[in-house]
């Protein structure tokens, strides 16, 4: 399997200029090839092959208008053409139903939030004895190594994000050799907003709400950005401040996902989750909170880490009535509004926690040997007489306090 290892780069001023030149040349080659293919399609000609695009690139480098393309590594330009082929392949596969539908390739802009170039093995890049990354026509770039690479990387991609940070992303070819020892627990996971994840054994993981916590600081930065004149250097500085604030939120969320997914994979032999249509849920009034949770990224981490460490990952269908079915007797009790966090089964009389019950049902739907012994379930109590069941909802609060004697009510 292929793994990516990402490390922070700290290029010098001259190296940043060389990388900016490489980003620009790769972008121009991509746009030129895309325009040529679109012009051929509009004229009713056959699809232009990659070999023809490569020949046109070689010829363009000999012209005065595109002579500056020779200032960067030729591998970077060829990989830009490969990226265009990948974009077209994904677009056609989406139209055929082989993968989720994607839009047609579009022109790149120098104002895009993410710029990247890729160096393959034949580009001549390497890691020096001084633990620096030597890139062709760029130089030796300082790298902050947070961990060791398990094997020799095949390619490296240099990325510049919206916050102005540089990263080196190494692709590692490795076998599934890190299989963890067998363990007994098998769990189902119910993802939510009140709690980020609720496990079938009754464990509840609180939602950090990184975006909500940083919202006040982010609003201030965005307000300062809106007051700056467009095209000014102060606006560029304010835009960078907003991008860095978003980057800190994204980094904290990603770190939380990695730590939780790694712990769940290490402690459990099988993990089951419910297939959620996040794209549809983000059209509701809960869109901001759903984006803040990052369910899709977390599920992807669980999936690839299970494959890497020899665990079982199961995704059940999204139409399973996990919140409507009693995990004790299996009776379907019908849909319930989100405000109902606990409910009593009308068949067996068991009081169930909504989230824990859903997690247990996820595990059972996946065929895992999970019991609700650790879940928050209890036998229903004897109902009170009708006159003592509660107060009228329209009764004044002060009168309720006097009748019940509860000072905080």
Catalytic residues: 190, 274, 355
Q: How many CB atoms lie within 10 A of CB 302?
A: 23
Residues 6 or more apart whose CB falls under 8 angstroms from that of 50 comprise 81, 82, 85
Q: Which residues pair with 117 in a beta bridge?
A: 158
The Cα–Cα gap between 19 and 342 comes to: 57
The Cα–Cα gap between 296 and 38 comes to: 34
Q: Which of 335, 401, 338, 341 is nearest to 376 (CA)?
A: 341
DSSP calls for 357-385: HHHHHHHHHTT----STTS-EEEPPPPPP
DSSP 169: E
CB-based contact 305:257 (threshold 8 Å): no
The Cα–Cα gap between 245 and 41 comes to: 43
The Cα–Cα gap between 353 and 376 comes to: 6
The Cα–Cα gap between 391 and 386 comes to: 10
Angle at 166 between CA 160 and CA 170, to 5 degrees: 95
Q: Which of 157, 156, 151 is nearest to 173 (CA)?
A: 151
């Amino acid at each position: 399997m292929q793994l990516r290892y990402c490390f922070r780069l700290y290029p010098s001023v001259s190296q940043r200029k060389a990388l900016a030149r490489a980003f620009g040349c790769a972008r121009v080659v991509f746009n030129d090839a895309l325009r040529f293919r679109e012009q051929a399609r509009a004229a009713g000609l056959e699809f232009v092959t990659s070999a023809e695009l490569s020949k046109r690139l070689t010829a363009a480098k000999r012209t005065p208008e595109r002579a500056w393309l020779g200032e960067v590594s030729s591998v970077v330009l060829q990989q830009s053409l490969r990226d265009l082929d990948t974009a077209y392949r994904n677009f056609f596969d989406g139209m055929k139903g082989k993968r989720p539908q994607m839009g047609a390739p579009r022109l790149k802009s120098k104002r895009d939030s993410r710029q990247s170039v890729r160096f393959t093995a034949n580009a001549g890049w390497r890691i020096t004895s001084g633990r620096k990354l030597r890139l062709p026509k760029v130089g030796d770039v300082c790298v902050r190594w947070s961990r060791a690479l398990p094997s020799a990387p095949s390619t490296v991609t240099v990325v510049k994000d919206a916050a102005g940070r540089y990263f080196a992303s190494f692709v590692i070819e490795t076998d599934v050799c890190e299989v963890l020892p067998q363990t007994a627990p098998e769990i189902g996971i119910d993802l939510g907003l009140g709690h980020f994840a609720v496990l079938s054994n009754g464990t509840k993981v609180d939602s950090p709400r990184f975006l909500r916590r940083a919202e006040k600081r982010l609003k201030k930065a965005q307000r300062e950005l809106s007051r700056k004149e467009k095209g000014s250097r102060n606006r560029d500085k304010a835009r960078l401040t907003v991008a860095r604030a978003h980057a800190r939120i994204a980094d904290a969320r990603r770190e939380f996902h990695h730590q939780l997914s790694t712990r769940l994979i290490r402690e459990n032999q099988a993990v089951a989750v419910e297939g959620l249509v996040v794209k549809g849920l983000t059209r509701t009034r809960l869109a901001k909170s759903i984006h803040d949770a990052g369910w899709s990224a977390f599920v992807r981490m669980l999936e690839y880490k299970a494959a890497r460490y020899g665990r079982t990952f199961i995704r059940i269908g999204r139409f399973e009535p996990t919140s409507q079915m009693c995990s004790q007797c299996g009776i379907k009790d019908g849909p319930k509004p989100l405000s109902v966090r606990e409910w009593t089964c009308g068949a067996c009389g068991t009081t169930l926690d909504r989230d824990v019950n859903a997690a247990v049902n996820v595990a059972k739907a996946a065929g895992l040997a999970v019991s609700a012994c650790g879940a928050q379930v209890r036998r229903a109590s004897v109902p009170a007489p009708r006159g003592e069941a509660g107060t009228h909802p329209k009764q004044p609060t002060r009168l309720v306090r006097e009748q019940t004697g509860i000072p905080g009510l």
